[in-house]
Chain A
Amino acid sequence: MAATCVWVRDQLEALVDGELERGCADQVRAHLSACEACREHHTEASSLPARLAAVRVPEPPIGLVRDVLLRVRGDQLSPTRLWAPFIVELVLFMVALWYVSGFGGLYLLIQRTATEAGTVLGWDVGQSDLPPPAAGDLFLLLVCGLLVATTLYHLAQLSRQGLRLS
């Protein structure tokens, strides 16, 4: 199927509903006059509203709106649940940053980690000695553990919200 046909078929619904701009509508009509396959799609799209109008609408059950709204409100995350973890994350990050003496300390920490990772990988291939284990700092580990827990919880909430909005 040609890319023009894909584009035209995307516009068919808007054309039928009369929502397409004039220039765009003329392009679509010009393509329809030349392409039989797209014309069939257009016929289907044109007849669908009429068919749907002919179908009798069943009476909705009593309390449908109330039940749907309750369900939607139950799924919706409050702004507090959505944004509060972000503030906690930033506070924990600032505490960690203060503890390692600012961005210079953070850079040094990452640099040391890169060095250790390089040494361990070098040891794996027999090119260097195994480095001694790094000394753990209980306070920093605690802050980072809390940061991991908070970010994982936050990402779980965000992914739920992100999917709902899509």
Chain B
Amino acid sequence: MPLRWGWVGLLSALVIAALLLAWLDSSLLRPLFPEAGPGVRRFEFARPPRTDVRLTPVGRPDLVFRGLGPVGGMFSFWWFVSAAVGVTLMTLAALLALPGRARRAAERVSVGTLPLMFVAGVATLLLGLALTVLLRVGFVLVSLVPFLYGLALVGAVFGVAALALATGRWLRARLGPAPPLVAALAGVLLLLDVSLVPFVGWLVLAVAAVTSLGLSVLTRVGSSAGWGLDELNF
């Protein structure tokens, strides 16, 4: 199916806007970011004793683009671009891996259900924090905490994919037919553009991530039976 010019224009505009916003965030507004540059705090994981195997350093830290910062630097232009590409690829991969579930979850997205999903996302985050404290006392159960957080991450990615699909469907009703992945791509790019808007973008991204998590939880990752246990009756 030939892609309409409206879609080509929209996708091009969204990509250009994302690049310009990333440039703005990484150059003019970079001093406003918390702990920009090499001083970013990291979790102090317990490290095993050193072995003789030495890994060679990855990347080229000496490679600096004029006005855009080092290639792998935190909050540099390339950091924003690579993060955006990573989110886009993960979202499209979720749609490719679980198309049926993503569709069912996207069908539940409406103006009326979005606040419920946000509240569900907040409740899930609080549940995760409480479980972190409870599992920590469980000694061996503490090793489940990383998996718990990994599960939350997968849920959020799936939720973003479903939201992107729903946004793409909304755009298709206005711009005409397009392959669903292209429409979903436009949805992801729209979210990324908004999240790169200075000062308020991160807040929108946080709300979208929490809502996505809530969407995954409420629909049990797009399950057709939801949280019902009818499938156990056989």
Instruction: Give B84 Cβ to nearest chain A Cβ, in Å.
Output: 26
Kindly supply a per-residue 1/0 record for chain B positions 124-151, scoring 1 wherever the CB is within 8 Å of any chain A CB and 0 otherwise. Answer: 1011011111111101101101100000
- A residues 112-166 touching B (CB-CB < 8 Å): 112-122, 124, 127-128, 131, 133-134, 136, 140-141, 144-145, 147-148, 151-152, 154-156, 158-159, 161-163, 165-166
**A13: Cβ under 8 A from any B Cβ:** no
CA–CA, A93 to B127, complex, Å? 10
Residues of chain A with a CB closer than 8 A to B129's CB = 93, 96, 106, 144, 147
Residues of chain A with a CB closer than 8 A to B134's CB = 141, 144-145, 148
Known A148-B130, A155-B127; contact A111-B44, beta-carbon cutoff 8 A: yes
How many residues on A have C-beta within 8 angstroms of the other chain's C-beta atoms? 53
Residues of chain A with a CB closer than 8 A to B132's CB = 109-110, 113
Binds B, one of A2-10, A33-41, A48-56, A63-71: A2-10
How many residues on B have C-beta within 8 angstroms of the other chain's C-beta atoms? 50
**B217: Cβ under 8 A from any A Cβ:** yes
Please name the residue on chain B nearest to A85 by beta carbon: B123
CA–CA, A74 to B66, complex, Å? 65
Instruction: Give A87 Cβ to nearest chain B Cβ, in Å.
Output: 11
Instruction: Give B128 Cβ to nearest chain A Cβ, in Å.
Output: 9
Known A27-B176, A134-B142; contact A165-B127, beta-carbon cutoff 8 A: no
Instruction: Give B126 Cβ to nearest chain A Cβ, in Å.
Output: 5
CB–CB B127/A148 < 8 A: yes
Residues of chain B with a CB closer than 8 A to A116's CB = 46, 136, 142
Instruction: Give B217 Cβ to nearest chain A Cβ, in Å.
Output: 6
CB–CB A89/B113 < 8 A: no
Please name the residue on chain B nearest to A110 by beta carbon: B132
CA–CA, A147 to B131, complex, Å? 9
CB–CB B127/A151 < 8 A: yes
CA–CA, A96 to B126, complex, Å? 11
CB–CB A111/B43 < 8 A: yes
Residues of chain A with a CB closer than 8 A to B119's CB = 83, 86, 154, 158
**B22: Cβ under 8 A from any A Cβ:** no
CB–CB B172/A158 < 8 A: no
CA–CA, A17 to B1, complex, Å? 27
Partner of B108, one of A2, A128, A162: A162
Residues of chain B with a CB closer than 8 A to A161's CB = 116
CB–CB B45/A118 < 8 A: yes
> Which of B122, B124, B126, B140 has the most CB atoms of chain A within a 10 A radius of its CB?
B126
Residues of chain B with a CB closer than 8 A to A113's CB = 132-133, 135-136, 142, 145
CB–CB B143/A7 < 8 A: no
CB–CB B137/A128 < 8 A: no
CA–CA, A131 to B45, complex, Å? 13
CB–CB B43/A114 < 8 A: yes
CB–CB B218/A162 < 8 A: yes
Give the 3 A-B CB pairs with smallest separation, nearest first.
A127-B48, A7-B177, A147-B130
